Structure 1
Amino acid sequence: QLLLLLLAFFLPPGAEAGEIIGGHEAKPHSRPYMAFLQIWDVGSQKRHNCGGFLIREDFVLTAAHCWGRLKTKARRTAAVRPLKLPTGKARVKPGKECIVAGWGRTAPVSKDSDTLQEVMLTVQEDKECESLARPPYRYDKTIEICVGDPKIKKASFKGDSGGPLMCDNVAQGIISHGKGNGMPPRVCTRVSSFLPWIKKTMKRRQ
């Protein structure tokens, strides 16, 4: 089975999960690690979409509020290839340009995209995302990354949660949440903070 690793973090009340705004369509097969997830919510009896990315032939990494299980193992080909994880506890610094991708909405009021979209976002100082915090939630710089220039309308939004924040072709973050109107900055989970747990989980399933 292709297992989904679910990172344990929580969305603040009223926060919106990810989509791509201000980006463009990705070139075919240029993101061979991307996974499109459709999740059925038993409680609300509704289906919602999320992103994810392959980190090993039998593991997809996604967000905690995205849940699902695929019943087949991925086969590595030119069009299917895992994305690299960061090494050690190296941190991406403010000013670094990274890419997010997904099939979410391309505007605050629109349908999900039927093509993979991507956009380049700049890593911000943590203080830019601290203002997004709403009790009892708070922005935690040890496990989160703030991305997206507040002055430029480019961001992830609904439908892209769980997708990767890619810096130099390495998965440094996982798209999480941000403002309900789709404006930057946005918050991503910091992958390096969870590396020991990720590696331990994959080794146990090997």
Structure 2
Amino acid sequence: MLLLLLISSAFVLPWAGAGRIIGGKVVVPHSRPYMAYLKIKVTNKTGTFHSYCGGFLIQPDAVLSAAHCVPEEGRVEVTVILGAHNIHDEEESQQWISVRDWVFHPDYCPVTLHNDIVLMKLKKKAKINKNVKLISLPSSNERVRTGTKCEVAGWGWTSLYGSKTDVMREVELKVQNDKPCQKVFRRYQRRSMMCVGDQNSGKSTYKGDSGGPLVCNQKAHGIVSHGLESRLFPKVFTMASYFEPWIRQQLRRFALQELPASPSSQ
């Protein structure tokens, strides 16, 4: 939920920052140990800017998030904070680790938000403990049934008017069939996206939640991607299972130190 991209009304207006949970509740501290808070610093010709997003730990040295969280221009520095509950407290559980490099999906489009996924390589491995743990990904052929209730956590806005929270919040959302998203988002892709939300419930992800996982049956089936600023329903998530082969391929490249060219290494 970083870049505020100006897109025609037929498309989406991605959230700036890292989205906040609307209509949810504060989680039990450290009950979502896979969650990552991304601090993003961008320096370009006009100055230095700071933003944030969500993410999740899939290996001790690898975090998944939404590609639109990471600007493609300027000098970009990303720091991952693991083991956090109150992001503005100096909690002993927190681990701050710089991101060494990252790779966007080769077909990522910042305008349509197709293939909105980025894999980050940490400079050092996280220490796995009770407050910092990995979350599993679905296999490439796994799908979540319509009607399944899933959870999304984050540090994003708690209202449409920008109310903020320092502590992690969570909301339960229902997986929809594709029709609501196809109706609202002209370029919705059913093979690589998930339509999620509860109509008329007042519950949603929002600005600042981008990049966080949609957890269904204890696996990260989706990645918070985008939605319309003017409405809470529906929201679009990147479908993790569709990208599972690509993710595994990039993790092997990480292990061999053969990461493709990316913005932070250019």
TM-score normalized by structure 1? 0.88
Determine whether 1:187 maps to 2:239. Answer: no
Partner Cα distance (2:136, 2:43) in 1: 33
User: Paired residue for 2:73?
Assistant: none
Q: Deviations 1:126-166 (Å, cap 9, x if unpaired)?
A: 011112225xxx00010000000222110000001000000
Structure 1 CA distance for aligned equivalents of residues 6 and 221 of structure 2: 22
Question: SS of the counterpart of 1:98?
Answer: strand
Would you say the 8 A contact 1:121–1:149 is kept in 2? yes
Contact kept? 1:105, 1:159, Cα under 8 Å = yes
Say yes or no: does 1:54 pair with 2:57: yes
Cα contact 2:222–2:239 (8 A) shared by 1 = yes
Give the letter aligned to residue 218 of structure 2. Answer: N
RMSD: 1.7
User: What secondary structure is seen at the aligned counterpart in 2 of 1:80?
Assistant: coil
Q: Please tell me whether residue 152 in structure 1 is matched to residue 201 in structure 2.
A: yes
Q: Which has the larger radius of gyration?
A: 2
Tell me, yes or no, if the aligned pair for 2:20 and 2:206 is still in contact at 8 Å. Answer: yes
**Are the aligned partners of 2:61 and 2:123 in contact in 1 as well (CA < 8 Å)?**
no
Task: Give the corresponding residue for 2:176.
Answer: 124
Which one of 176, 187, 190 corresponds to residue 225 of structure 2? 176
**Aligned-pair distance for 1:89?**
1.3
How far apart, in 1, do the equivalents of 2:163 and 2:124 lie?
29
Contact 2:140–2:243 (Cα < 8 Å) also in 1: no
Distance 1:100 1:72 in 2: 27
In structure 1, the partner of 2:20 is 19
The verdict on how the C-alpha distance between 1:12 and 1:61 changes in structure 2, with shifts beyond 3 A counting, is: farther
The yes-or-no answer on 1:39 pairing with 2:40 is: yes
Residue 202 (structure 1) aligned to one of 232, 251, 257: 251
Per-residue Cα deviation, 1:55-112 (whole angstroms, up to 9, x for no partner): 0001000000123325432111111100011023111121000000100110011243
In the alignment, the residues of structure 2 paired with residue 155 and residue 167 of structure 1 have an alpha-carbon distance, to the nearest angstrom, of 16
Matches of 2:160 and 2:14, distance apart in 1: 11
- Counterpart CA distance in 1 for 2:252 and 2:141 is 19
Q: How far off is 1:184 after superposition?
A: 1.5
Whether the 8 Å CA contact 1:155–1:182 is kept in 2: the answer is no
Once the two structures are TM-superposed, the CA of residue 16 in structure 1 deviates from its matched residue by 2.8
Paired position in structure 1 for 2:67: 64
Give the SS at the match of 1:200: helix
Shift of 1:191: 0.3
d(CA) in 2 for partners of 1:51, 1:201: 20
**1: distance between equivalents of 2:180 and 2:168?**
28
Partner letter of residue 85 of structure 1? L
SS of match in other structure, 2:67: coil
Percent of aligned pairs with the same residue? 45
- Residue number in structure 1 paired with 2:109: none
Match of residue 31 from structure 2? 30
Once the two structures are TM-superposed, the CA of residue 182 in structure 1 deviates from its matched residue by: 4.6
- The alpha-carbon deviation at position 12 of structure 1 amounts to 7.8
Runs of 5+ unmatched residues, structure 1? 1-10
